[in-house]
A and B are shown apart, each in its own frame.
Chain A
Amino acid sequence: MFGFSAPHLLFATLLLALPVALHLLKRQLAINLRFPSIRFIIRGRLPREGKRRLRDILLLILRLALFAALVLCAARPFWAPPVDAGPQTAAGAPNLVVLLDTSASMRGHNRFQAARQAIGKHLQARTYADYALVTTGPATLDLAPTPAADTFLANLESLEPGYAAGNVSAALERAAALLPAGRKGTLLIASDFQIHEWELASLPALPGHVALELVGVGPEAPENAAIMAAHTQQLPDGRIRIVADLHNFGTQAIGRLVSLEAGTQRLSRRIDIPARSAAKVPFVMPPAETRHGRLLLEPDDQPIDDSLSLWLGAPPPIRLLAVVPFEDEPEKSTELFFLKKALSIRPGSAARGFSLEAVDVRQFFALTPAGFDAVAMLGAVGYLEEPGLELLRRSVEAGATVLCTPGRAAGTQFLALNRLGLLSAVHRGVQTFHGLHPVRVAWINPDGLLAGLFSNPRESDLFRFGTTRLVRLATQAPCEELLRADNELPLLVRQSTGLGQLLATAFALDPAWSEFPLTTSFLPFLHELFSMSGTDEGIRRLNCGDPLPVVTNLLGEASKPPAGASTETPVVIMVGNTPVVVNVPRTESTPQRQSLLALRDKLTARDGAEPAAMTDPAGRTRILWPWLAAAAALLLLAEFALGNIAAWKATAPPPSRPVRREGAI
């Protein structure tokens, strides 16, 4: 069986017209010459056109053959012996695998129905041995190969698109597995070919024996408007502010009604959105009766993105773990007291509160990093053993914010943090300032996270409190100093590692070290440091089809999701104390379609490999392109030689006979 690995390159045979055109253009035409007299010019024979044409035709044929050889070589031809089709093949008929897009975008613009009709029409026109269906959804939706087209179509009718995005790479791999080597097969892909799914996906190249049919359904550039996202914020008076992000993907300006529903409450606003533009719609809602809400847009032909589920309840608190060396340093209970006191107060501007849990330093190693968002190591790092230090490192890398204060084991603490790579600061001893000359804050890093909070020194007492005991630290990159004392020593340093960060103070949050816990700046200081902890404001936002999150406590015990909870459809559920909001992925709203030509090239690209050779188990496939390359080289030599001979003959001087000039003097 003769075939090509890159058959689309055969289009390059159109280049064969090039030499023909050149020969036609370079054809020798008579030049006009106004001559004094033609009485001595006899009508002689014109150049021996026959011979010249023969030479030119030979040259032309050589050039055509050279081009053809090069094109065929690029198409990488191969020859494979005929393969026994096996008993399951009915009269040599090929298999058909239908890859049906069941992503959420197929729900709009009647696309899924159009896809079913296109498949039915294809089946009416051709007969196959087996019919199989692969969906871009989960593999459980696939239909096993069946020889009965009617059964296949009946099963197809029972299918509905989901609310999730499609996984085209996995679907293509499953489809290729259903089309084994040595047996002809056709892969029919029916989809809206949304560009984000097909362009960005890592698509596998199909084997050479698979014929590809692409059926694009739905309009090329559909009009669509969508609610892309929403941001909620609890106001101090209990009301909720919701800002909806809308996008008009269409080419026409639209005017739509946007509504917010929460229980029996409903707020509506009309919004005009220009073509291909985004818009924001704000709502302020009284304290909600329910924690679930929905944003609704007047439906269009793509209804999946016209609603968005919201969590309207209070965001869960930031889980702060305080690790204290209760036995080794009982005075650290005072520091814990001030910490608890400060974090128990929730300022009106704070989006989230804190839930503080304190453990002894010796219990720390047994905890689970997923059980807390932030850690306050109150002089405890120096007492951690290797498992505890490893847990601390993993917690920071996973995204936790860790605040370390010094204690009696400050030297060991900074040595361990340096060794773990969490803080590039060297401990230079503890300095005590007696009498009336305590150390005060003198400099705040203008690029640090505290700069915005204490931007006006007159409105804050951050620069007024005195510190009587101080760990002398010497920092180096990437550790950054956030606060510096008037004697140039760093008071607060920070270093990012992984997704989290480690903060270290040069003094304990204890009046025995500093007056700082007694100031009004202490509370916003702590809130600002820990407010960066955690992700998604404590709310898990998922797309339909994503797995349910596992929410664990400090000891690693997972909270069970509600019975029957699923992410297949848009929903709001609670897993433990964590709200989980599931919506249709907004990538399904984009109307741009992948170029089918480019997609065909991508799917049939061979990446230099010979699929037929790879899939032929007996290895009997013969790769023919090296022979063609050799033939092309020979043709090139022949063309070069013949062309030179022709040029030499054309430029050779004709035999001449001088005219006698007897009359000249």
Chain B
Amino acid sequence: MPEQTLAELLSPSALARIENYAVLARTVVEGFISGMHRSVYHGFGSEFLQYRNYSPGDDLKYVDWKVFARSDRHVTKVFQEETNLNCCLVLDTSASMAYQGQAAACSKLHYAAMVAACLAYLANRQGDNVGLYCYGDTLTTALPPVQRQGHLHRLLTELARLTSAGSSRHEQYLPHIAQSLRRRGVVVFLSDFLEADETVLPLLRRFRSAQHDCIAMQIVDADELDLPFERTTRFIDSESGAELVTAPQNIRNDYRTAMEAFLDRLRKGCLEIGIDHVLVNTSEDLGGTLAAYLHRRGSVY
């Protein structure tokens, strides 16, 4: 069996077939980390744990030069993890997240759940506390970030049960979640931000006000970006049920222009309030998403 490349390992088409989120998350995270050629998993504390042999890609600042001088061997110092960061994953499960385009291997909600599972596993492996909040028109999951035996398993099980329905009630649930997070941490908000760019950004500002680091992961399908349909189509809004018949080939350019303007507006809005905006295309692999998280996680300390 040929060895899988990192891109193949993290591709949504491959991951969408894995039903067990624990397996999925372990597969992605371990594969992702081992392929980064950089030892990010040193822990961010300061208590020395052990030496290990240097491997290419390790940061030179962890090489113990004294040992090198004595034994002519390169070894790297490994520190004991001692920080305890809160990582809160917030998922939008509105009906619009159920869309699965022609080129996508899974729906937006499924993709978001996979991302959330990977992030939860990654955070748990680094000793962080992980929480999960999911809501559409109702709050379906509320797991505050705690350090407890079996918490990760419960979280992954909740992710596997997710279904999409209704319209997102951001204004109702986001303040509630912001209020419940007392310790500073990272808040990852996974949503398509459709219909809600004007309401969500002020709400996310509350997280920033509470000194949380926020990552807004906008899950979009390739169809939403390109509108690649050729036949005359009756578009039915998945949340409002409104219908519109049009010829996509005739309005494609106008649609792209409007979508680009929307994305620009969202990006700038996030920038203004200090939130990272990550556009996640469900046709692309999960590597970029994890890298964005780690980037933000690293900046905390």
- Is the CB–CB distance between B194 and A665 below 8 Å? no
Known: A28-B231, A33-B236, A46-B232. A665 touches B267 (CB 8 A): no
Q: Which one of B194, B232, B252, B281 contacts A37 once the chains associate, using CB atoms below 8 Å?
A: B194
Q: Does B259 lie within 8 Å of A40, measured CB to CB? A: yes
Contact A40 B233 (CB under 8 A): no
A 166-206 contacts with B by CB, 8 A: none
Residues of B within 8 A of A39 (CB): 194-195
Q: How large is the interface on B (under 10, 10 to 19, 20 to 34, 35 or more residues)?
A: 35 or more
Q: Which residue of A lies closest to B241 (CB)?
A: A34
Answer yes or no: B1 CB below 8 A from chain A CBs: no
Q: Collect the chain B residues with CB atoms within 8 Å of residue A42's CB.
A: 246, 251, 254-255, 258
Query: Please, which residue of chain A has its CB at the minimum distance from the CB of B108?
Result: A36
Asked if A456 is at the interface of the complex by the 8 Å CB criterion, the answer is no
Q: How far is it, in angstroms, between the C-alpha of A39 and the C-alpha of B254 when the chains are bound?
A: 12
Q: Which residues of A sit under 8 angstroms from B291, Cβ to Cβ? A: 665
Query: A21-59 CB contact bits vs B (8 Å, 1 = yes)?
Result: 000000011111111111111111111000000000000
B69 touches A (CB below 8 Å): no
Residues in chain B near residue A663, CB distance under 8 A: 218, 263, 266-267, 277-279
Q: A31-B231, A44-B250 are in contact. Are A36 and B99 (CB under 8 A)?
A: yes
> A662 — which chain B residues lie within 8 A by C-beta?
263, 267
A36 with B221: CB separation less than 8 A: yes
Task: Tell me the minimal C-beta distance from A663 to chain B in angstroms.
Answer: 4
On whether the beta carbons of B277 and A40 are closer than 8 Å, the reply is no
> Are B247 and A41 touching (Cβ within 8 A)?
no
CB-based contact A41/B238 at 8 Å: no
Q: Given A35-B237, A38-B235, A47-B232, A664 and B288 touching (CB < 8 A)? A: yes
Q: Are B236 and A30 in contact (CB under 8 A)?
A: no
Given contacts A28-B232, A47-B232, A665 and B292 within 8 Å (CB-CB): yes
Interface residue A121 (Cβ < 8 Å from any Cβ of B): no
- Shortest CB-to-CB span from A35 to chain B, Å, is 5
- Complex: A662 Cα to B224 Cα, angstroms: 16
- In-complex Cβ contact of A35 among B232, B235, B258, B295 (8 A): B235
Q: Say yes or no: is B234 at the interface (Cβ < 8 Å to chain A).
A: yes
Task: List B residues 269-301 near A (Cβ within 8 Å).
Answer: 277-281, 284, 288, 291-292, 295
Given the known A-B contacts A30-B233, A659-B259, A665-B288, are A35 and B238 also in contact in the complex, defined by CB atoms under 8 Å?
Answer: yes
What is the bound-complex CA distance between A416 and B108, given in angstroms?
A: 107
Cβ contacts under 8 Å, A32 to chain B: 233-234, 236
Alpha-carbon gap, A665 to B252, bound state (A):
25
State whether B194 touches A36 (Cβ < 8 A): yes
Chain A interface category by residue count = 20 to 34
CB distance from B212 to the nearest CB of A (A): 20
A659 touches B260 (CB 8 A): yes
Verify if B226 is at the interface (C-beta below 8 Å from A): yes
Name the one of B224, B229, B260 contacting A36, with C-beta atoms under 8 angstroms: B224
- Measured CB to CB, the closest approach of chain B to A655, in angstroms, equals 8
State the CA gap A33–B255 with chains docked (Å).
16
A654 CA / B247 CA spacing, docked (Å): 12
Is B226 in contact with A659, judged by CB distance below 8 angstroms?
Answer: yes
Instruction: Decide: A35 near B262, CB < 8 A? Known: A46-B245, A47-B249, A665-B278.
Output: no
Q: Does B38 contact A (CB under 8 A)?
A: no
Could you say which of B221, B233, B284 contacts A33, with CB atoms under 8 Å apart? B233
Nearest neighbor of A651 in chain B, beta-carbon distance: B230
Residue numbers in A under 8 Å from B218 (CB-CB): 663
CB distance from A33 to the nearest CB of B (A): 5
8 Å CB interface, B105-146 against A: 108
Interface check B153, CB cutoff 8 A = no
Interface flags for A266-293 (1: CB within 8 Å of B; 0: not) read 0000000000000000000000000000
Closest Cβ–Cβ distance, residue A49 to chain B (whole Å): 9
A437 at the interface (CB under 8 A from B): no
How distant is A334 from chain B, measured CB to nearest CB, in Å? 111
Query: Within 8 Å of chain A (Cβ to Cβ): is B253?
Result: yes
CA distance A388 to B232 in the complex (A): 99
A424 shortest CB reach to chain B, Å: 84
With A32-B236, A40-B262 already in contact, the answer to whether A656 and B226 are too (CB < 8 A) is yes
Give bound CA distance, A527 to B185, whole Å: 130
Cα A431 to Cα B48 with chains together (Å): 137
Residue of A nearest to B99 (CB): A36
Given A37-B96, A46-B246, A664 contacting B229 (CB threshold 8 A) = no
- Taking CB atoms, residues of chain B closer than 8 Å to A30 are 231-234, 245
Chain A residue numbers with a CB within 8 Å of B280 are 664
- Known contacts A34-B99, A46-B232, A659-B226; is-contact A40 B255 (Cβ 8 Å): yes
Asked if A458 lies at the interface with its beta carbon under 8 angstroms from chain B, I say no
- A38 B267 Cβ-Cβ under 8 A: no
B235: chain A residues at CB < 8 Å are: 33, 35, 38, 41
Shortest CB–CB separation between residue A661 and chain B, in angstroms? 6
Q: Which residue of A lies closest to B266 (CB)?
A: A663
A126 on the interface (CB 8 Å rule)? no
Inside 8 A of B183's CB, which chain A residues have their CB? none
> With contacts A37-B195, A40-B259 known, is A47 near B250, CB below 8 A?
yes
Q: Which residues of B contact A34 (CB under 8 A)?
A: 99, 236, 238
A659 nearest in chain B by CB position: B225
A419 at the interface (CB under 8 A from B): no
Interface: A657 (CB within 8 A): yes
Tell me if B231 and A41 are in contact (CB < 8 A): no
Interface check A434, CB cutoff 8 A: no
Residue in B234, B256, B263, B277 whose CB lies within 8 Å of A31 = B234
Docked CA distance A664–B284 (Å): 11
Bound Cα distance A514, B136 (Å): 125
CA distance A662 to B278 in the complex (A): 9
A42 CB to nearest B CB, Å: 6
Residue of A nearest to B287 (CB): A665
Contact of A44 among B226, B251, B259 (CB under 8 A): B251
A43/B244 contact (C-beta < 8 A), A33-B229, A662-B267, A665-B288 known: yes
Q: Mark B168-201, 1 if CB is under 8 A from A, else 0.
A: 0000000000000000000000001011000000
CB distance from B242 to the nearest CB of A (A): 6
Q: Which of B194, B234, B260, B262 contacts A660 (CB 8 A)?
A: B260
Q: Using Cβ atoms and an 8 Å threshold, which residues of chain A touch B47? A: none
Interface: B82 (CB within 8 A):
no
Task: Enumerate chain B residues within 8 angstroms of A664, measured Cβ to Cβ.
Answer: 278-281, 284, 288
Chain A residue nearest to B229 (CB atoms) is A33
Which B residues touch A45, using CB under 8 A?
247, 250-251
B236 near A35: Cβ-Cβ < 8 Å: yes
Nearest B residue (CB) for A654: B249
Expressed in whole angstroms, the Cα–Cα distance for A32 and B246 within the complex equals 11
Give me 28 A-to-B residue pairs in the complex whose CB atoms sit less than 8 angstroms apart, sorted by A's number.
Answer: A29-B232, A30-B232, A33-B236, A34-B238, A35-B238, A36-B99, A36-B192, A36-B221, A37-B224, A40-B255, A40-B262, A43-B244, A43-B245, A43-B246, A44-B250, A47-B232, A47-B250, A656-B226, A656-B252, A659-B225, A659-B260, A659-B263, A662-B263, A663-B218, A663-B278, A664-B280, A664-B281, A665-B292
- Other than A30-B231, A40-B259, A654-B249, give 5 A-B pairs with Cβ distance below 8 A: A41-B235, A41-B246, A45-B247, A659-B260, A665-B292
> Which positions in A face B, CB cutoff 8 Å?
28-47, 654, 656-657, 659-665
Binding site for A on B (CB under 8 A): 96-97, 99, 108, 192, 194-195, 218, 221, 223-227, 229-239, 242, 244-247, 249-256, 258-260, 262-263, 266-267, 277-281, 284, 288, 291-292, 295
- 4 pairs of A and B residues whose beta carbons are closest in the complex: A44-B251, A36-B96, A663-B279, A40-B258
